[in-house]
Amino acid sequence: MLTNDRIGAVILMVFSIAYGALTYQIPLLSFQADAAFTAQTLPKALSVLGVVLSLILFFTSKNNDLPDVEGFKWVSAILICILMVTYGFTVRPVGFIISTSVFLISAEYVLGERRKNILIFSTIPVVLFFWYLMSQVLGVYVAPLPEFLMDLFK
């Protein structure tokens, strides 16, 4: 019988197997071919761990409850997924700061937050902090604004 735990275990197993299959596409340099530890090692171990844990969850599940989807807010879930896809397409052309701020404010609004002060002040500082952390501390370049606005600041 499919229960919540078993459905979760099957989803985890499918994801882990797909992730494990994709790890073979990670390119290796010529001198890494015979190395014991490569860029593929940890992803492969993680996928094996995911399969093992999903099997344990599947066979040790004692929860006999059927999935309860009656009160689930499907519209909100679908809107959040649409927002995530839109964010993925807009983060480069629009810039990290603007697209991430719009994404987070929109997601909070979809989830029920309506106070403008909370929406703005819980989003903007977090976005600016992560942009600073990534670009200044970690050295990963993330375009903060669209190119036409970046040209104004040069």
How confident is residue 144, by pLDDT bands cut at 50, 70 and 90?
confident
31 has a pLDDT exceeding 90: no
Whether 44 and 83 map to the same domain: the answer is no
Indicate if 115 and 80 belong to the same structural domain. Answer: yes
Specify if 66 maps to a domain.
Answer: no
Residues 138, 106 share a domain: yes
The answer to whether 39 and 32 are in contact (CB under 8 A) is: yes
Which pLDDT does position 66 carry in this prediction?
63
For residue 128, the SS3 value is: helix
pLDDT (0 to 100) of residue 65: 64
Instruction: For residue 147, give its domain range.
Output: 74-152
| Counted domains in the chain | 2
Q: Are residues 79 and 26 in the same domain?
A: no
Of 65 and 30, the one with more pLDDT: 30
47, 100: one domain: no
| Residues 82 and 43 placed together within one structural domain of the fold | no
Start-to-end CA span in the chain (Å): 63
Same domain for 110 and 146:
yes
Q: In the prediction, which pLDDT does 30 show?
A: 78
Does 54 lie in the same domain as 97?
Answer: no
CA angle 65, 71, 6 (to 5 degrees): 30
Please write the tens of the pLDDT for every residue from 72-109.
Answer: 888 999 999 999 999 999 988 898 999 999 999 999 99
Model confidence pTM above 0.85: no
Task: Mark whether 87 and 145 lie in a shared domain.
Answer: yes
